[in-house]
Amino acid sequence: MLIRPTAFDHPDAAKLNDQVQLEYDERYGDGGDITPLDAAMFVPPHGLYLLAYDADEHPLATGGWRRQDANDEGYADGDAELKRMYVTPEARGLGLARRILAALEDDARSAGRVRMVLETGTMQPEAIRLYETSGYTPCDKFGLYRFHEESRCFAKTL
């Protein structure tokens, strides 16, 4: 597997983003994640977006981080927010999510970020397990979904 930086608006990224939106809709029944995202948010040094490919150049997984600082949505200065972690069903169990997560943490740390934060939901227990076993702990809710009952927020010091 090859993991490489890719623009958030690259066709392969868009393809997997469409897939994760369908999965969100299936799990939560609300049409997917409506968090406003723009490709510029993931341009270094203010963020990074990664795609994992197999040997035949098929995209299998994504993940990114974007810079956040203190604001009225509950973020703190020095935050890096994890976004769009996703592994296609056929590639689950291969360790891609952990590899992408570790690469994103390293990159955010190198960019001067001090804490990685993320929001997930109760209908994604496998994501919650990934984050908890990677050193993330529950934190105060932040972001667009901070008032939703199903929302769960986690943080890890970088």
**pLDDT above 70 covers what percent of the chain?**
100
Please work out, in degrees rounded to the nearest 5, the angle formed at the alpha carbon of residue 134 by the alpha carbons of 5 and 48. 20
**Looking at residue 136, what is its pLDDT?**
98
78-87 pLDDT per residue, tens: 999 999 999 9
Average pLDDT, the chain: 96
The domain ranges of the chain are: 2-157
User: Six-digit token pair at 154?
Assistant: 């986690």
**Looking at residue 22, what is its pLDDT?**
94
Cα 40 vs. chain centroid, distance in angstroms? 16
In the predicted model, is pLDDT for residue 113 greater than 90?
A: yes
92-111 pLDDT per residue, tens: 999 999 999 999 999 999 99
**pLDDT above 90 covers what percent of the chain?**
93
**Looking at residue 30, what is its pLDDT?**
79
| Dihedral sign of CA atoms 143, 62, 95, 76 in order | negative
**Looking at residue 32, what is its pLDDT?**
78
**Looking at residue 83, what is its pLDDT?**
97
Q: What average pLDDT does this structure show over 61-71? A: 97
C-alpha span between 52 and 1 (Å, rounded): 6
Q: Which CATH architecture has domain 2-157?
A: 3-Layer(aba) Sandwich (3.40)
24-62 pLDDT per residue, tens: 999 998 777 888 999 999 999 999 999 999 999 999 999
Whose CA is closest to 101, among 76, 123, 132, 72?
A: 132
